[in-house]
Amino acid sequence: MKKSTNGWINGFLGMLIFSGSLPATRLAVMDFDPLFLTVCRAAIAGIVAVSLLLIFRQPFPIRSEIFPLALVALCVVVGFPLLTAIALQYVTSAHAVIYTGLLPLSTAIFGVLRGGERLKPIFWVLSALGSCLVIGFALANGTTSSLHGDALMLAAIIVCGYGYAEGARLTRRLGGWQVISWALLISLPIMLILSFYMMPASWGGIQVSSFLSLAYVSLFSMFIGFVFWYRGLAQGGIAAVGQLQLLQPFFGLLLSALVLHESIGLPVFIVNIGVVLCVMFAKRFASK
């Protein structure tokens, strides 16, 4: 019971950190190219990860863990950030929220396929209901659609769900911060090369807020958030704790209001109450 509770606490902290990614990204792309932002934040996080692995003298993963770690890197370090960055050139951030609402389902499915979890039928009903609430909220607020953008976002959700489940499975043996650190190390060489290649021609006109946002998505979104998130998934269950992602768009909107001074209305809070109830009951019916 204690391990499960700790899993939900760690998962919530990870989700909360991830919620700040969108507002921080919105600030960062005012001065940075989205593709540069994607590779640069992975490179910065990778340098931090390598430093920690050396400081704490972590043993190298065994041979059977190398390929799964490479898949985690491909999914959450490169795939999801890159696919969403390209997709946002075709669709609005509001439209992207529609697909964010599908991420808990994607994570739960891969939790069953890769993590060997067994779930009650009522869990799938609650997960689908929570996703529909988020999707319905996004559609009701009016979004623009694009075939290219939709396809890219759908691919991003599938890739991310797999990366979450695979990383959580590895965390049970390696530990949360070690998994994301090794994944970042694997991708570091190419991320460093691309960062230098895509580097802005001039740094003079870049605002302080953009640098701070780059620091946030590099240290928190790309590293610290995964430490809590992977630990939470491993302790509390991939599918169950993954339902906390249903809350992420709403915390993101709240942070957008605080940081970017964007207005949010009463419907946000009403829908959020429904989502919270879905998450609470999904937690109860997670195990079969």
Predicted pLDDT of residue 74 = 95
b/e 39-62 (16+ beta carbons within 10 angstroms → b):
bbbbbbbbbbbeeebeeeeeeebe
pLDDT band at 1 (very low <50, low <70, confident <90, very high): low
pLDDT tens for 142-195 read 555 677 888 888 899 999 999 999 999 999 999 989 999 999 999 999 999 999
Domains contained in the chain, number = 1
Domain enclosing residue 15, as ranges: 2-284
**Phi and psi (nearest 5°) for 31?**
-125, -20
Query: pTM of the prediction?
Result: 0.88
pLDDT for residue 13 is more than 80: yes
- pLDDT, position 274: 77
Cα–Cα distance list, 26 to 44, 246, 260, 267 (Å): 19, 21, 9, 23
Across the range 104-129, mean pLDDT stands at 86
Closest residue by Cα to residue 39 from 194, 265, 257, 255: 194
Cα–Cα distance, 241 to 234 (Å, whole number) = 9
Q: Which of 13, 29, 20, 94 is nearest to 258 (CA)?
A: 20
- The mean pLDDT of 249-269, rounded to a whole number, is 71
